[in-house]
Amino acid sequence: MDTRRKINEKSKQEQLDRVHPDPEREYLTTNQGVRVSHTDDALKVGERGPTLLEDFHFREKLTHFDHERIPERIVHARGSGAHGYFQVYEPMTEYTRAAFLQDPKKKTPVFVRFSTVVGFRGSADTVRDVRGFAVKFYTEEGNYDIVGNNMPIFFIVDAIKFPDLIHAIKPEQHHQMPQASSAHDTFWDFAGSLPEITHMLMWVLSDRAIPRSYRMMQGFGVNTFRFVNAEGKARFVKFHWRPLLGIHSLAWDEAQKLAGKDPDFNRRDLWEAIEMGDYPEYEFGVQMIEEEDEHNFDFDILDATKIWPEEEVAIRWIGKMTLNRNPDNFFAETEQIAFCPANVVPGIDLSNDPLLQGRLFSYLDTQLIRLGGPNFQEIPINRPLSPVANNQREGYHRTTIDQGRVSYFPNALGENKPRPAPAEEGGYVHYQEKIEGRKIRARSEKFNDHFSQAKLFWNSMSEVEKEHIVKAFHFELGKVSDTGVRSRVVDLINNVDGDLAIRVAQGIGVPPPARKGAPSGTKKSPNLSQETTVMDTIKSRRVAILAMEGYNRDEVVQVEQALKDAGAHPEIVSEFYGRVRSADGKEMEVDRSYATTGSIVYDAVYIPGGRHAETLKNQSYAIHFVNEAFKHGKPIGAIGEGIELLKASAIKGVAFADTSGGEALAEMGVVTCGSQGSVESFIDQFKTAIARHRHWDRERMEQVPA
């Protein structure tokens, strides 16, 4: 008989609701529930005298405040979370007995936390970094965590090097600089001496490290796990998440500017998307390798610095996750959630991947100090939905009131309960892998091919993506003061591709390698490039509409409606907040003023026709807006007189068509519609340009300053 509790999409929320504060919140009280009559002045001797120790309300309020902070995560300190649910497409019974992967009708609640790795809790979102992608499934068989990243591999092979990596990449110990950045001497000093890091360097210097949105990045389990079915047959697996909106990135210049203008850019994007009903969705995929094929690849399948190329091991998309609710309280949920790769359920097992093995220890260990003791799993966000029953007792912050006198097993006084469950009753049975070996500090020879997959990655990039990588090296190594360190990194990447090394050396003032490395070859894995991603939707994209007094209202209404119908979010941007008057004397509410926004927070810009163009083309703000959007490869649309603003901007060398279509421009994502053109066809072209996301070739137009 299946004695497990039934779970649905709402189960976790219902559990959390039970710890919400008392709805009777009319009066302020102390923590003892005593009503407070006055909270503006402390109790004193006379109106100008000293405060009294007996003022219990004052002391309690200050003491609690003094202790509000807990240690931030040593890595992944900066994060944002959301609730949602997961559904499998079809029963996975053949491969795993995990209950949440059996029934397509079942919705398993999840909580996801996205994060940057290096920065402190208050650091900017848009820095160059790996992003964490951690998912907790509240299944009826207990909590299952996939604690992943947005890149499929890692910097190192063995967890024992993790403290070295993190010490090298965090702000330097003497002066605590730089914040949230790998662009400094100690990281590159470490990297230059560690060939196994090369593949990951290619990923971290690619556009993957500056995602446009948490909703537009992939997730990967990185480590190798196992699926085990009810018969006990096991297969090696790797986990993938792919966003339905496609994988899109920011421009590096834009990312840096956003870090100042809106350091919460990715957090805000996630929050607002969920509030607006644009629920982020990700498909869940697995790659599986049969046990007998373990050694049939030219990489070691336990090596976390390697991908399993899709061409060799296909990804099977088996389910979908939807994020549909923001947390009620950041601290209680997003900050206090505790993930651990060792949180597995029956049907999912571990592997001997040496990076994973170390992680299995580290996460529980770090929670003990971060969350203040061994009872952190009682914190509401960490509580499983399946019942917890064992003989673990006491410790700091214990909230369960265990009853009876028995806290040991076996026992007769308590009818031998709780007792171990056999596998048929859902007991977790570790996969019986046969192992034989000597105790040694060593790794298998196969782990030592550090460059083949770095070459594969480089080769799979488009020309634009390659250029971004080269420029990222120029930035990162350009911030390194020690030229010896710069040179060592150039020598390292010379192993990937000789031309890459030369191009990097050119930008950072060091000689090219003494002997040019071999070219990277021709082998490609097309899906490593973001060029192959989804580009047929404008859902949830933000479009700025620049409008001053005298814009053509009917046209704006038509374009705005078409964009909204396709799921985008147009906003009126004008000099001041309030209302802005159209040519025919009607008014529209301004969404953002020049002072509070900029092109960098939008995906596209549209300049309507009307006599307002006379004003716009003389406004440095509007001109800069267009220049910057152009430089960052964003779609730009202009109708009628609106084209005047483009002509006043630095977009030179671009001929403006004033007849219908403007097809040559549309190729570059600059869509215009002259007096003869039709607004309908403008809308179609503009939507196609927005769906493309960015028109990166434009970055090369050096005559456009921004």
Q: Which residues belong to the active site?
A: 76, 149
CB 112 to ligand HDE: min, Å:
9
- The tokens describing 321, both together, are 């996750």
- The tokens describing 60, both together, are 């309690």
Among 208, 359, 468, 687, binds ligand HDE (CB under 6 A): 359
Verify binding: residue 73, ligand HDE, rule CB under 6 A: yes
Distance CA 368, CA 366 (A): 5
Strand-pairing partners, residue 132, are 115, 149
Contact by Cβ (8 Å): 112, 325: no
CB 241 to ligand HDE: min, Å:
12
Site mask for ligand HDE (CB under 6 A), range 321-340, x = bound: -----------------xx-
Nearer to ligand HDE among residue 245 and residue 371 (C-beta)? 371
Question: How many degrees, rounded to 5, is the angle at CA 506 between CA 503 and CA 511?
Answer: 110
Verify binding: residue 115, ligand HDE, rule CB under 6 A: yes
Q: Assign 490 to helix, strand or coil.
A: helix
Site mask for ligand HDE (CB under 6 A), range 291-320, x = bound: -------------x----------------
Verify binding: residue 148, ligand HDE, rule CB under 6 A: yes
Give the DSSP letter string of 566-625: TT-EEEEEESSSSEEEBTTS-EEE-SEEGGG--GGG-SEEEE--BTHHHHHTT-HHHHHH
Range list of β-strands (E), 443-567: 542-546
Stretch that binds ligand HDE, among 229-237, 355-363, 533-541, 618-626 (CB under 6 A): 355-363
Per-residue CA distances from 560 to 242, 273, 403, 557, 605 (Å):
30, 19, 63, 5, 12
Nearer to ligand HDE among residue 150 and residue 627 (C-beta)? 150
Verify binding: residue 137, ligand HDE, rule CB under 6 A: no
Q: Assign 372 to helix, strand or coil.
A: coil
Site mask for ligand HDE (CB under 6 A), range 204-243, x = bound: ------------------xx--------------------
Among 171, 178, 195, 358, binds ligand HDE (CB under 6 A): 358
Among 12, 57, 76, 208, binds ligand HDE (CB under 6 A): 76
Verify binding: residue 450, ligand HDE, rule CB under 6 A: no
Site mask for ligand HDE (CB under 6 A), range 18-57, x = bound: ----------------------------------------
Stretch that binds ligand HDE, among 70-78, 283-291, 475-483, 688-696 (CB under 6 A): 70-78
* Residue 181: count of CB within 10 angstroms of its CB: 22
Nearer to ligand HDE among residue 75 and residue 472 (C-beta)? 75
Q: Which residues, 6 or more positions from 555, have their beta carbon under 8 angstroms from its beta carbon?
A: 608, 609, 610, 639, 640, 679
Closest residue to ligand HDE, based on beta-carbon distance? 132
Give 427-432's long-range contacts (Cβ < 8 A, gap of 24+). 427/346, 428/344, 428/345, 428/346, 429/346, 430/349, 431/226, 431/228, 431/232, 431/234, 431/349, 432/232
Angle separating helix axes 463-478 and 252-261, nearest 10 degrees: 50
Nearer to ligand HDE among residue 76 and residue 553 (C-beta)? 76
Distance CA 637, CA 671 (A): 5
Nearer to ligand HDE among residue 112 and residue 205 (C-beta)? 112
Under rule CB under 6 A, which residues in 574-613 are in contact with ligand HDE?
Answer: none
Site mask for ligand HDE (CB under 6 A), range 253-292, x = bound: ----------------------------------------
Q: How many helices (H) and strands (E) does the chain have?
A: 18, 18
Among 363, 428, 431, 475, binds ligand HDE (CB under 6 A): 363
Q: Assign 35 to helix, strand or coil.
A: strand
Verify binding: residue 154, ligand HDE, rule CB under 6 A: yes
CB 221 to ligand HDE: min, Å:
6
CB 115 to ligand HDE: min, Å:
5
C-alpha gyration radius of the chain: 28
Distance CA 651, CA 637 (A): 13
Q: Which residues, 6 or more positions from 320, have their beta carbon under 8 angstroms from its beta carbon?
A: 86, 87, 89, 281, 282, 283, 284
Per-residue CA distances from 48 to 39, 41, 43, 55 (Å):
17, 11, 11, 16
CB 96 to ligand HDE: min, Å:
19
Nearer to ligand HDE among residue 338 and residue 639 (C-beta)? 338
Q: What is the dihedral of CA 397, 399, 405, 409, to 10 degrees?
A: -80
**Roughly how many angstroms between the first and final C-alpha of the chain, as a whole number?**
67
Q: What is the largest CA-CA distance in the chain?
A: 91
Strand-pairing partners, residue 88, are 319
Give the DSSP letter string of 122-185: TS-TTSSS-EEEEEEEEETTEEEEEEEESSSS-S-SSGGGHHHHHHHHSSPTTT--STT---SH
Among 85, 95, 162, 594, binds ligand HDE (CB under 6 A): 162
Nearer to ligand HDE among residue 75 and residue 600 (C-beta)? 75
Among 11, 12, 79, 349, binds ligand HDE (CB under 6 A): 79
Nearer to ligand HDE among residue 70 and residue 388 (C-beta)? 70
Among 75, 168, 200, 493, binds ligand HDE (CB under 6 A): 75
Q: What is the DSSP letter of 369?
A: H
Verify binding: residue 134, ligand HDE, rule CB under 6 A: yes
Site mask for ligand HDE (CB under 6 A), range 639-678, x = bound: ----------------------------------------
Nearer to ligand HDE among residue 147 and residue 613 (C-beta)? 147
CB 677 to ligand HDE: min, Å:
49
In a 13 Å sphere around the CA of 333, the CA atoms on its Cβ side amount to 23
Nearer to ligand HDE among residue 282 and residue 682 (C-beta)? 282
Amino acid at 472: A
Nearer to ligand HDE among residue 159 and residue 510 (C-beta)? 159
CB 372 to ligand HDE: min, Å:
13
Site mask for ligand HDE (CB under 6 A), range 365-404, x = bound: -xx-------------------------------------
Verify binding: residue 252, ligand HDE, rule CB under 6 A: no
Q: With contacts defined by CB under 6 A, how many residues of the chain interact with ligand HDE?
A: 27
Location of structure tokens 């996939």: 146
Residues that bind ligand HDE in the complex, under the rule CB under 6 A: 73-76, 79, 113, 115, 132, 134, 147-149, 154, 159, 162, 222-223, 304, 338-339, 355, 358-359, 362-363, 366-367
